Structure 1
């Protein structure tokens, strides 16, 4: 494997920019943040040569596979059924507004045609096609924003040294230079930001592998913002946002929760928020994982995210042949049908002033407050609401009136006329502030 470790001029310029006073997002960036929040729903795609093992994206380190043996997977990678148009159409049919694909994951294999390593899908596989370029072209054609996942850690390169907490059993014995690795990453990011059209966001992962390392994130972030001022930067580091970041990521949990164990002590910032979640139990394709969430659970996850002012980035793990698993497609289509009716209560909304509870959440758009009843406990729902005058209450889907009564600091809704088995009983309140 050859590596070209060349520091480009932009890297040096980014260092000077980062040395200036605190990060000030450009007007294009602020507009992108607003559009990002308005979109509310995106597709995460974890796909790489690890799909051939059918054991998720962490198989290399989980099984201590020697990186040289693992690299042989590339020689047999030929996703004959990959169809960028079908992928983007599946996202659109689900009601998703953007796609985030793994351009390079922790195994170090690049899913795009990079000049800075021959360990990539164009040079190392018989397939020989730049799937990221094809996806970028199709996203532009169909009006879907494209985001790039990019791993900061690497289980293959020798200049990722000292080793981190993962990937210690992948057979690396030589000790490369850390600055070469930083230069390699900067060069690849420059390629992605200059050769693939407009990029909605760069979604970093892996900082936690070497939390004490000198990652020089200020330079990396400054380079991104210089090349594409409207491109957002997020980092799945499980901490409060660092300077230069434009949105806050939460993994497998809604903001304010920590059931997955990644968000201990992570407070919710004022930046746009995004929760990423798997549809089953793994990010990359797993041949044995059939533990898929139900359609109702996925809709609840999306609505619960919106009610906490967050986007949902819902994952699919394509098969080694390039097709999205049928179980995922079926669920995406059903979520899309629901979104055709209720999308207005999700897109372009912000968290409502009625705080989330066991009953559900609220979202707001102007003077319209959408109450999403996800769990019923009787026919009367009393909710705290102060500072506004409720003028009407109707079922969102058919505009049928919902009886209500108001007190000084609450509103009570009569749910007796609403079927108790609905996935989400959405009641629209007209509230004058």
Structure 2
């Protein structure tokens, strides 16, 4: 029976590899990589930046696909993309003041336009725009100066390149797309990744997106992969060039060999509110990251007014940390290079909250009380931080059977009345000490 089970496990792993794409064989992370993983697990908060020529149209980063803009029409956008108000140092200071420890920025999105000085083609910000300067180089220099680590988002799919062929499931109605050679496209990506990991100093990670474009989709789940992404070669290239560099892939699947962290798009780990979320059964043992928008869009969207409140953002941060995950919070800069004032204000408020409560988030692990709409918990050694997300002066934590030494209010360290029995833990908080955003209880274990 054990022999049969062993064969079954091997077969499942083999089928999983075929479905997901071949990873980096026999990958063993370097000491530098493990050190970056440890850092990544503790920092908890980063800034996502979606920025490209699509910002001119003010309709998000998928505008080329959503409006079926032809190749020749879209190619006009770079000719009047001139973000003269871009200030890399201001962006980095904004992130740092918000309590963020790293920045992830789009180096090339699905429209195929590169926001850096690439020699792989001339469809880039240096060769194709009146601005003519490398914004990633400016941002990299500012990040290194301020001790903020830098990740590059890199799109695997490309609506512009003929060599992205066979076509995936998106961009199918964009006119001007022709047949090309897949192997040439893989070579193109290798060239660009080599540039990104050679010309911009130490890079903390590569954030891949678009794998799902080449997978069959029946409306409920992903099916067979129709191409070879050559992850075995691409992942090895990255780790060889910069061993400390983490690799993540937004494929909504279990981690593939060679990846160093696992991300979740607009969803907490194990949830599936989007319909394309990663199943709980596919959560691995790698460091985790949740990415979310401040409003409803990744790229600049002129008409998007659904800006999340301070309370919503704080609660999402707390729930992410309660899952043992980082939160990568996105802004979509305007075409002039400035960040929307509403988003700058949101980040300012988050920074103030993190300065007051960051001890309960940074360098913590998921606590013993799983996140719900009512509460979440984080833990640091023998200290549990119970975050109460609703204003209730009497809180019951079911099945809490750990040995308690003290129960205090985090904000002023005042002792709280509590009672523990066979059913769980009951805590009473003075009504005048309830926090409208998040009342934090500090539980010290014996």
Matching residue within 149, 153, 160 for 2:153: 149
User: 1:85-131 CA distances to partner (integer Å, 9 max, x unpaired)?
Assistant: 11011111111110000000000000000011100000100101100
Structure 1: distance between partners of 2:414 and 2:336: 48
Name the CA distance, whole Å, in 1 between partners of 2:325 and 2:242. Answer: 24
Residue pair 1:392, 1:430 contacting (<8 A) in 2 also: yes
Residue 249 of structure 2: aligned partner: 235
Classify the secondary structure of the residue corresponding to 2:384. Answer: strand
1:132 and 2:136 aligned? yes
Counterpart residue number, 2:99: 95
1:358 is the counterpart of 2:373: yes
Within the alignment, does 1:403 sit opposite 2:379 as a pair? no
Measure the CA separation in 2 of the matches of 1:392 and 1:73: 61
Matched, 1:269 2:284: yes
Q: Is the 8 A contact 1:418 1:425 kept in 2?
A: no
Distance in 2 separating the partners of 1:369 and 1:421: 18
| Deviation, structure 1 residue 429 | 0.7
Cα separation, partners in 2 of 1:240 and 1:404, compared to 1, 3 Å: same
Alignment: residue pair count: 414
The question of whether the paired residues in 1 share the 8 Å contact of 2:394 and 2:426 is answered with: no
Distance change >3 Å, CA 84–CA 355, structure 1 → 2: same
The 1-side partners of 2:341 and 2:118 are apart by 31
Q: 1:173 to 1:128 in 2, by over 3 A?
A: closer
Quickly say closer, same or farther: Cα 1:19–1:417, change in 2 above 3 A: closer
CA 1:233–1:210: 2 relative to 1, 3 Å? same
> Using the alignment, how far apart are the partners of 1:69 and 1:105 within structure 2?
17
Report matched runs for 1:19-418 at 5 Å.
21-211=25-215, 212=225, 213-263=227-277, 265=279, 267-377=282-392, 379-386=394-401, 388-408=402-422, 410-417=424-431
Q: Give SS of 1:195's match.
A: coil
* Deviates further, 25-34 or 411-420: 411-420
Contact 1:26–1:229 (8 Å) recurs in 2: yes
> What SS is found at the alignment partner of 2:116?
coil
Measure how far apart 1:356 and its partner are: 2.1
For 2:24 and 2:83, the matched residues in 1 are separated by 46
Q: CA deviation at 1:408?
A: 4.6
Structure 1 runs (4+) greater than 4 angstroms displaced: 18-21
Contact preservation (8 Å) 2:370, 2:377: yes
1:30-85 CA-to-partner distances (Å, cap 9, x unmatched) read: 11111001000000000000000000000001111111210111000000110001
In the alignment, does 2:442 pair up with 1:425?
no
Kept in 2: contact 1:359–1:376 (CA 8 A):
no
Deviation of the 1:26 alpha carbon: 1.0
Do the aligned partners of residues 393 and 227 (structure 1) sit closer, same or farther apart at CA in structure 2, a change above 3 Å counting? same
DSSP 3-state at the match of 2:64:
helix
Runs of 5+ unmatched residues, structure 2: 1-21, 216-224
Question: Does the 8 Å contact 1:369/1:430 carry over to 2?
Answer: yes
- Does the 8 Å contact 1:255/1:308 carry over to 2? yes
CA shift, 1:394, in A, is 1.2
TM-score between both structures, scaled by the size of structure 2: 0.90
Q: 1:21 to 1:103 in 2, by over 3 A?
A: closer
Distance in 1 of aligned mates of 2:237 and 2:424: 49
CA shift for structure 1 position 167: 1.1
Preserved contact between residue 203 and residue 233 of structure 1 (Cα < 8 Å) = yes
Q: Which shows bigger deviation, 280-289 or 20-29?
A: 20-29
Displacement after TM superposition at 1:409 (Å): 6.3
Q: Which runs of 5+ in 1 are unaligned?
A: 1-17
Cα distance in 2 for partners of 1:66, 1:237 equals 27
Q: CA deviation at 1:290?
A: 1.0
Q: Is the 8 A contact 1:149 1:202 kept in 2?
A: yes
Superimposed CA distance per residue, residues 127-184 of structure 1 (whole angstroms, 9 cap, x where no aligned partner) = 0110000000000111100000000000000000111111112223431110000000
- For 2:15, the equivalent position in structure 1 comes to none
Q: CA deviation at 1:378?
A: 5.1
TM-score (norm 1): 0.93
